[in-house]
Amino acid sequence: MQLNAEQKRAVEQDGDVLLLAGAGSGKTLVLAHRAARLLKEGDGRLVAVTFTHDSAAELKRRILRLSPGQEHRIRTGTFHALAMMQLRSAGREIRLLNTGDRNRLIVHALALTEEDIEFDNMVRIIDRVKSELEHRDYSGEGYKTYHAYQDLLRKDRRMDFADLLTDAIDGIQEGSVPPHSMRWLLGDEFQDTDEAQYRWLMLHRELTGAEMTMVGDDDQSIYAFRHALGFAGMERFRDAVQATTLHLSNNYRCAPEILQPAGRLIQHNTYRAKKRIQAASDAGGRIACRYPRDREEEAEWFIASYREDREGWAVLSRTNRLLDVLEIALQQEGIPYFRDSDDDFWSLKEPRALLTMLTGIMEGGKALALPVGNGRGRNLLGQTALERRLAHSRTQLLAGCRAGLYLCGWKASVTEGLLKQLEPLPLSEWKAFVEGWIKETGTEDVKKKTRKLSSGVHFLEYLPGWCTVSLQDPVLLIEGLRRWNAGLLPSVSETCAIALGSIARLRGTLSQRLQFIDRLAQKKQESAPVLGPETVYLTTMHGSKGLEWEKVWILGVEDGVVPHLDGELEEERRLFYVAMTRARRRLELSAVREGNPSPFLAECGIEAE
């Protein structure tokens, strides 16, 4: 590919450079050509740091294609990979924790200190302390647990992922860890660097005198929740090394019909570098906004568009959960898709508990239908086999009860104590026993132990009827479950409502519907995803960064979702800009009529179709 005038200047500029490269502007191409020029014109080693292993490998491949035979002079990697190389060269033993072990150590540390901090909040505190280099003398919220966690790591001679960078920085400053040998230091996605990463870069500058080229786009700074420095970090670098600031303003990805509204949107941000954003590709793109009735119709409209033109689709959303309804619809329609997430919908806690509950209800129905007299059914089913079958059904029923009461918010200790007393009783006697149990225990005492007393009591009250109807009329059962689900906590009922709606749209008996879902989950586990041209790519807006597709559909473009209620306005605007600029030729936006359209649509100048 021939370089344009801006790209040529970025390749040929002497000295330290801050390159502001917009979306689709060919920054990797420029970095590779600049690296090749530097290697050709001088002696020494070149180090390039990126944020993913794939981008590091791709950059190295491009550099070597332009500079064959220079592999021994080039080192590319992520910050943490390069830090690990340093620690190993200093003779450090590296035993990294996996995520599960890390979580267990944090729980252990919380138990030791007895600080009143939620687990998820403690994880955020630990990550922030290390990314902001407060790790040595931290004395803020959760400091006892933080230091207890670090003591447990040292005692076990382990480190977590963030320790790679903090240990390398501490070692460089103390003189026990050597810096990488280099003459040139290149960095990509510079807007995403946090304090620790910035310090690692500047230490190498101080100790090696390396000439630096940092590439980034302040309009794509979307990781404040990971403590990224964003535009402030770019200005700080520019001032620290007196770097020449250059721009890449031509977008070779997006059709002008897509880029122009995205450009109008991002210009509403006040804290950004002034720059031109212009489309280099020909006209002929399409952008449209639709207003479906609800999430189900939103999924139906996407599937209809997909059937008209199957290739090159990605669907993006502000949060992962917004993709659930569409994922289920794609499964049921047999449309190939890849979801960029560790868990699919049915492996989430709430849907998984709901399926266990439904299986228990179905088995309870089978138990009620089994002959229990001495003579009935003996010719069809031997007494020993009958007893085994009955025992199996009751075991499944109890598991279903645990799952149902979990969804109600009952504590495990309360549930287990109750089920131990219910287990020997006939199902028809459960309701009366529970009512007596509540009176005997004391309603206020039970309320302290259960977040939703009434929904749990209703669950046990309705259970015999649900078991009876489960084998004859799954539609009636699901309607009853929907009414019960409406009384659960919103965080639970919203996800369960999606699951129940999906099961309701299937055909057949309850057993056949559950088997269908089980086969889908099993098929996903057994087969590796094949990203063919007709595979729909599902991901979040954050997950879409660095990717591009011919056609993009953005779900849930409603106020309160985009921008998100918990987000900072300018960062949310940047995030929507990133999502829009993933599309090459076609961009579809949808906002359900239940909510208000996102104010970002008006800022883009987009009219409803």
Tens digits of residue pLDDT in 302-344:
999 999 999 999 999 999 889 989 998 998 898 999 988 766 6
Is 21 labeled as ligand-binding?
yes
Same domain, 502 and 471: yes
User: Three-class SS of residue 447?
Assistant: helix
User: Three-class SS of residue 185?
Assistant: strand
Other residues' Cβ atoms within 10 Å of the Cβ of residue 288: 15
Is 221 labeled as ligand-binding?
no
- Which region among 26-30, 356-360, 409-413, 459-463 has the lowest average model confidence (pLDDT)? 409-413
Whether residue 279 lies inside any domain: the answer is no
Q: Which two tokens stand for residue 302?
A: 């996407």
Give CA–CA dist 140/138, Å, rounded.
6
Question: How much is the pLDDT for 589?
Answer: 98
Give 124-161 pLDDT, tens digit per residue.
Answer: 999 999 999 999 889 999 999 999 999 999 999 999 99
Question: Among the three residues 504, 526, 548, which one is the final residue of a domain in this structure?
Answer: 526
- Which region among 190-194, 335-339, 534-538 has the lowest average model confidence (pLDDT)? 335-339
Give CA–CA dist 184/328, Å, rounded.
50
pLDDT band at 243 (very low <50, low <70, confident <90, very high): very high
Question: Among the three residues 509, 526, 543, which one is the final residue of a domain in this structure?
Answer: 526
Q: What is the sign of the dihedral through the CA atoms of 504, 509, 513 and 516?
A: negative
Give CA–CA dist 318/465, Å, rounded.
40
Question: Among the three residues 526, 554, 573, which one is the final residue of a domain in this structure?
Answer: 526
Question: How much is the pLDDT for 371?
Answer: 64
Same domain, 110 and 84: no
Question: How much is the pLDDT for 255?
Answer: 96
Same domain, 377 and 420: yes
Same domain, 307 and 209: no
Whether the predicted pLDDT of 384 surpasses 70: no
Q: Which two tokens stand for residue 441?
A: 């225990």
**Helix-strand-coil split of the chain, %, nearest 5:** 55, 10, 30
Give CA–CA dist 61/433, Å, rounded.
71
Closest CA to 135 of 230, 235, 227: 227
φ, ψ at 124 (rounded to 5°): -65, -40
Assess whether the previous peptide bond of 563 is cis (omega < 30° from 0). Answer: yes
Is 25 labeled as ligand-binding?
yes
Tell me the mean pLDDT in the region 443-455: 60
Whether residue 500 lies inside any domain: the answer is yes
**Local structure of residue 379 (DSSP, 8 states):** T
Is 130 labeled as ligand-binding?
no
pLDDT band at 249 (very low <50, low <70, confident <90, very high): very high
Whether the predicted pLDDT of 378 surpasses 80: no
Give CA–CA dist 148/292, Å, rounded.
51
Whether residue 52 lies inside any domain: the answer is yes
pLDDT band at 609 (very low <50, low <70, confident <90, very high): low
Give CA–CA dist 515/250, Å, rounded.
52
In whole numbers, what is the pLDDT of the chain averaged over residues? 89
Among 10-24, 92-106, 518-532, the range with the most confident prediction by mean pLDDT is 10-24
Is 602 labeled as ligand-binding?
no
Whether the predicted pLDDT of 390 surpasses 80: no
Whether the predicted pLDDT of 195 surpasses 90: yes
Same domain, 354 and 439: yes
Give CA–CA dist 477/473, Å, rounded.
6
Same domain, 520 and 407: yes
Whether residue 517 lies inside any domain: the answer is yes
Give 28-41 pLDDT, tens digit per residue.
Answer: 999 999 999 999 99
Whether residue 232 lies inside any domain: the answer is yes
pLDDT band at 453 (very low <50, low <70, confident <90, very high): confident
Closest CA to 418 of 400, 403, 433: 433
Whether the predicted pLDDT of 444 surpasses 80: no
Give CA–CA dist 475/495, Å, rounded.
19
Is 176 labeled as ligand-binding?
no
Same domain, 391 and 539: no
Whether residue 171 lies inside any domain: the answer is no
Question: How much is the pLDDT for 241?
Answer: 96
Same domain, 54 and 184: yes
Question: How much is the pLDDT for 178?
Answer: 95
Give CA–CA dist 531/16, Å, rounded.
40
Give 284-308 pLDDT, tens digit per residue.
Answer: 999 999 999 999 999 999 999 999 9
Question: How much is the pLDDT for 464?
Answer: 85
First-residue to last-residue Cα distance in the chain: 38
Whether the predicted pLDDT of 368 surpasses 80: no
Return the amino acid letter for 603: E
Same domain, 512 and 437: yes
Question: How much is the pLDDT for 342?
Answer: 60
pLDDT band at 164 (very low <50, low <70, confident <90, very high): very high
Whether residue 227 lies inside any domain: the answer is yes
- Residue pair 337/327 in contact (Cβ under 8 Å)? The answer is yes
Same domain, 372 and 454: yes
Other residues' Cβ atoms within 10 Å of the Cβ of residue 137: 7
* Range of the structural domain that residue 520 is part of: 347-526
Show Cβ contacts of residue 543 under 8 Å, excluding neighbours closer than 6 positions.
340, 341
pLDDT band at 219 (very low <50, low <70, confident <90, very high): very high
User: How many structural domains compose the chain?
Assistant: 4
Whether the predicted pLDDT of 376 surpasses 50: no
pLDDT band at 232 (very low <50, low <70, confident <90, very high): very high
Show Cβ contacts of residue 439 under 8 Å, excluding neighbours closer than 6 positions.
none
Whether the predicted pLDDT of 529 surpasses 70: no
pLDDT band at 196 (very low <50, low <70, confident <90, very high): very high
Residue 518 or residue 533, greater confidence: 533
Whether residue 314 lies inside any domain: the answer is yes
Is 26 labeled as ligand-binding?
yes
Is 590 labeled as ligand-binding?
no
- Which region among 82-91, 426-435, 441-450, 509-518 has the lowest average model confidence (pLDDT)? 441-450
pLDDT band at 381 (very low <50, low <70, confident <90, very high): very low
Whether the predicted pLDDT of 380 surpasses 50: no
Q: Which helix (H) or strand (E) holds 65?
A: helix 53-66
Same domain, 320 and 446: no
Same domain, 53 and 187: yes
For the domain that residue 557 is a member of, what is the CATH number? 3.40.50.300
pLDDT above 70 covers a percentage of the chain that reads 92
Question: How much is the pLDDT for 170?
Answer: 96
Question: How much is the pLDDT for 520?
Answer: 74
In Å, how far from its chain's centre is CA 129? Answer: 22
Tell me the mean pLDDT in the region 175-203: 96
Pairing verdict, β 17-21 and 46-50: unpaired
Gyration radius (Cα) of the chain, Å: 29
Pairing verdict, β 211-216 and 184-187: parallel
